[in-house]
Structure 1
Amino acid sequence: MARRDLTGAVDFAYLESFAAGDAQVVDEVLALFREQAAIWSSMLNPASEGWRDAVHTVKGAARGVGAFALGDACEAAEVEGSGKLGGVHDALDAALADVAAYAHERALQSLKTPR
């Protein structure tokens, strides 16, 4: 998996700009996003009492990292109800796949770039 595998689910240029080009900040933010996604996934279930809170939290985090389609899917679930949670899961999976491809590409570049 590498940059060529990006689907556009995350706008990394937005995130890089927001982090003022600080690659370490970008890496830290994406690591937190991935860790939190594991927690969110179990909460994004209509049987979970806190699914609405989880959707709201994911929406903000998604928009913060540039995963705008995920943010929009969360907003749809907030407005239209738990029937939209499948779209949230799909968008979260796409965002996480893009984050993994981006991180993999950065790891490859670090092997090629002299320090």
Structure 2
Amino acid sequence: MSDNNPLRDPFDAIADPTRRKLIRILAEPREIPLHELTVQFDMGRTAVSKHLTILKEAGLVLDRKVGRETRFRLNAAPLREVHDWLSFYQKFWTMNMISLGQLLEEDEE
């Protein structure tokens, strides 16, 4: 799988709170081994691995084998699509708040 052709939509991948927490943890500027990730959740290694697989399919997580250990790191590039989509709604809400403010000012006059 390449970063240019993800198997899963990043929106789908970030829909789960556990995966969002994994993304937050993996935002550290270092690779993190699976055993360090697992201790931060109330679930087993297999369940954490399944969530990591979904994130990998979306291109959000990269992994590297070091001996018998697998280390993970965030690839934030696919989150650009999410950011761009959300930025439209940020503009939408900003414009609505400006309009509401103007309406309230007119109402006070």
Report 1 or 2 for greater relative contact order, CA contacts < 8 Å, sequence distance ≥ 6. 1
Q: Same fold (TM over 0.5)?
A: no
Q: Which has the higher helix share?
A: 1
TM-score by length of 1: 0.37
Q: TM (normalized to structure 2)?
A: 0.38
Q: Which structure has greater strand proportion?
A: 2
